[in-house]
Structures are given as C-alpha cells and as structure tokens.
C-alpha cells in the first residue's frame, strides 16, 4: 500500500513537471501590433539592411530577380540542411496571406502562423531586437514585391534536430540573450549602427562563434569563428582586434559595404558577396552608422 502511494506521488510529480515543461516551452505569440500604416520607404531600407535577398532570392538570381523572394537556397550546417522558404507576396506559397501579427510573431518569437517553433537558421534571435514599427514597415514592403509560386522542400535534418518541439528548450536558453549595447555616451550614429548590426543586419549570426547547441557565444561578440555552414572556412573577426579590422578606418568599412573593395585592394567573396550587394542598396548613412559602431568594438566586449 505504501509502495503504491509512493508510485502515485512520483507519477504526479512527473506529470506536473511535464505540464510545466510544456507550458514553459510552448510557442509564444506577440502581445500587440503597432496601429500604423506601413512606411514603404522605411520598409525598403529595412529590406536591404536586413539582407532579405541574400537568403530568400532564388539561388543565382540577379538584377530585378533579387526582389522576388522565391526561396529555395539550401543552407548546409552541422545539424542538416535548412531549405530557405518562399517569403514572396504569394498568399498560397509565400507569406502574402499572413497577417501583420503573424509576421511579427515569426520575427520576434520564432513561431509560425500554425503554432510551430521555427528553427534559428531563420535568425529571429536577431530580428527580435528590431522595433515593431520597422517590422510592420518591412511586412508592408514585402507585400509590394512580386509573388512566386515556388514550392520549397522541407528541411533535411537528422535526429534529434528534426524533433521540432525540442526547440522550445533551445529558446529558453538562447532566445532572450541580450546584445551588447553601446555606452550611453555614444552618439546617435554609433547607436544606430549598434541597432542595425544587432537586429536587421543580424551580423552576429555569422560573425559570432556558437556553442555545441548552436547558441551564440555572447562573450565573443563578432570575433569570428567557424563557418556556420560547416567545412573548413572561417568567418572573420570584425572587432578592433589585431586579427580583425583594427587597421580599417570607418570610411574603409563604409566603402567596403558600398563597393565590395577592401583597403588592401581585395574584393568581397563567398557568402558575404550577397550581403554586401544588399548593403550597397542601403542608405549611405546606415553604412556609415555600421562602420562607426564596429570601430567601437574591442575583443571581449
């Protein structure tokens, strides 16, 4: 009798623990959406500073085709291959049928309209640091772009990574990690640069090393590391360390983002090529802001 009561108590504790885990790791939604008409001019700026076309344009697209968010790029990582979705204005194949609330929920909470966790290959861990107004404007601009009926295959992931509900525990560990903030004494240009680098530009997603679970190592902010897509490639340090870009002036950094040329007469290459092409279409003031912020970074900050 005593043994039976003990087993019942243990079962009750386990059930409560399971219920608590389900509650804590449930896909979240945004609480509110700004009541505003999208500013399409600002939405286009966010589109280019966010590098949307770098991943979501069809592989090999150029010219005006870079504005068709058809998806289809395969991102090969140590966890498997993530196939980048169609985010065009198609209501059936893209996100044209999403509400603004659904879009903000995806960008801030990493939750899909049907209530599933998104994998952080979609860098919502950075996008959640954007202002809701910028996100509303971005959705408005995306809705003006051409529709595509491209159907993208699902991700090709091995177990245990294919078990999507486990992402709730990953989010508990990493979703709310703060980005290093510039000092209060920083001027408006540096603060704007910090906002762009930490949020829309999602620079840390490649330039900050990751731990074994794929979370950003925030103690090594923008200090470079292994290519997140695997292989022997290295993503460069973009702090003011001797191994980084300490020898580059702010003007050098801004010109690199505009032209793709480095101070030593080399040119951009690899996956950064598409990123730079997006930044070339951003306002000059935003390129200068990013440069001003990067010039403030020293290793270990």
Phi, psi of 76 (to 5 degrees): -85, 125
Q: What is the pLDDT, as a whole number, of residue 1?
A: 59
- pLDDT tens track for 96-107: 999 999 999 999
Higher pLDDT: 4 or 185? It is 185
Among the residue ranges 15-24, 39-48, 108-117, 216-225, the one predicted with the least confidence is 15-24
Higher pLDDT: 11 or 98? It is 98
User: DSSP string of 267-294?
Assistant: B--TTHHHHHHHHTTS-HHHHHHHHHHH
- pLDDT tens track for 32-86: 999 999 999 999 999 999 999 999 998 887 787 788 999 999 988 888 899 999 9
Does pLDDT of 19 surpass 50? no
pLDDT > 90: percent of the chain: 64
Q: How much is the pTM?
A: 0.88
- pLDDT tens track for 128-176: 999 999 999 999 999 999 999 999 998 998 888 888 888 999 999 999 8
Query: Is the Cα torsion angle 254, 255, 261, 266 positive or negative in sign?
Result: negative
Q: What is the pLDDT, as a whole number, of residue 236?
A: 92
Q: Which residues contact 219 (CB under 8 A, 6 or more apart)?
A: 300
As a whole number, mean pLDDT of residues 2-31 equals 58
């Amino acid at each position: 009798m005593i043994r039976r009561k003990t087993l019942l108590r243990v079962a009750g504790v386990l059930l409560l623990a399971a219920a608590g885990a389900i509650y804590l790791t449930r896909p979240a939604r945004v609480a509110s959406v700004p009541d505003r008409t999208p500013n399409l001019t600002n939405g286009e700026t966010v589109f280019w500073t966010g590098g949307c076309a770098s991943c979501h344009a069809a592989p090999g697209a150029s010219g005006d085709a870079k504005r068709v968010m058809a998806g289809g790029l395969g991102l090969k990582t140590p966890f498997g291959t993530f196939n980048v979705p169609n985010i065009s204005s198609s209501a059936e194949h893209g996100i044209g049928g999403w509400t603004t609330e659904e879009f903000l929920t995806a960008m801030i909470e990493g939750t899909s309209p049907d209530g599933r966790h998104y994998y952080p290959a979609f860098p919502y861990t950075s996008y959640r640091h954007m202002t809701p107004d910028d996100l509303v404007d971005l959705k408005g601009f995306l809705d003006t772009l051409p529709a595509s009926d491209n159907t993208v295959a699902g991700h090709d992931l091995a177990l245990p990574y294919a078990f999507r509900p486990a992402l709730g525990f990953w989010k508990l560990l990493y979703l709310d990690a703060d980005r290093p903030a510039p000092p209060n004494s920083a001027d408006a240009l540096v603060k704007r640069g910090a906002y762009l680098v930490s949020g829309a530009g999602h620079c840390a997603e490649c330039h900050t090393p990751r731990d074994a679970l794929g979370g950003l190592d925030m103690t090594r902010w923008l200090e470079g590391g292994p290519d997140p897509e695997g292989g022997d490639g290295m993503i460069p340090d973009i702090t003011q360390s001797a191994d980084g870009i300490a020898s580059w002036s702010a003007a050098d950094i801004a010109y690199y983002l505009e032209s793709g040329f480095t101070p030593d007469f080399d040119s951009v290459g690899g996956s950064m090529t598409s990123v730079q092409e997006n930044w070339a279409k951003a306002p000059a003031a935003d390129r200068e802001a990013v440069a001003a912020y990067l010039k403030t970074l020293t290793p270990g900050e």
